[in-house]
Amino acid sequence: MANLFSADWMNQLKDAWNNDPEVSGKLAEINFNSIISCGFKNEDDPRGVFVVENGICTRAGDWAGEQPDWDMRADMKDWLKWVEKGIGMMGMGTAYATGKLKFKTGDYGAMIKDPRMAGPFVKSFNLMKQIGADELA
């Protein structure tokens, strides 16, 4: 397994995303374009970046200063819990409401109310469970 948010890990997530029609296919239907970054709440900068064009992830890897449309943050222990166990719509709402999942950029409330985005968003989190992750050293 690769380290969480490493370039290798982000590219494994990219492959899983592009191979899942419930994520990439559904987002292609709405011409979803976005730069998504993720990292840890206690750090200024995100760790990984994920570039989506018309639902397909065209580039993933280490964050290199890109301006994200969505920047998701959580503590290492929470990310690893979601990687291990997955997360559903209820769990996602609870994580957001309790502050375990933060959005430095992006409107979680608007996104989760749009079923065309909410379903693929939750499913994208469960792709992490497919690939697993090692904790950062």
What residue ranges define each of the domains in the chain, with the CATH number in brackets? Answer: 7-130 (3.30.1050.10)
Please give the C-alpha separations between residue 25 and each of 17, 18, 22, 84, 106, in angstroms, as whole numbers. Answer: 9, 8, 6, 25, 21
Query: 64-84 burial, b for 16+ CB within 10 Å, e for fewer?
Result: eeeebebbbbbeeebbbbbbe
**Could you tell me whether strands 48-53 and 102-105 are parallel, antiparallel, or unpaired per DSSP bridges?**
unpaired
State pLDDT tens for residues 14-24: 999 999 999 99
HEC letters along 18-34? HCCHHHHHHHHHCCCCE
Residue 111 CB coordination number (10 Å): 14
| Residue count (the chain) | 137
State pLDDT tens for residues 85-129: 989 889 999 999 999 999 999 998 888 889 899 999 999 989 999
State pLDDT tens for residues 16-63: 999 999 999 999 999 999 999 999 999 999 999 999 999 999 999 999
What is the spatial order of strands in the sheet that 56-62 belongs to? 56-62, 48-53, 34-40, 70-74, 102-105
Q: What was the pLDDT predicted at 135?
A: 72
pTM for the model:
0.92
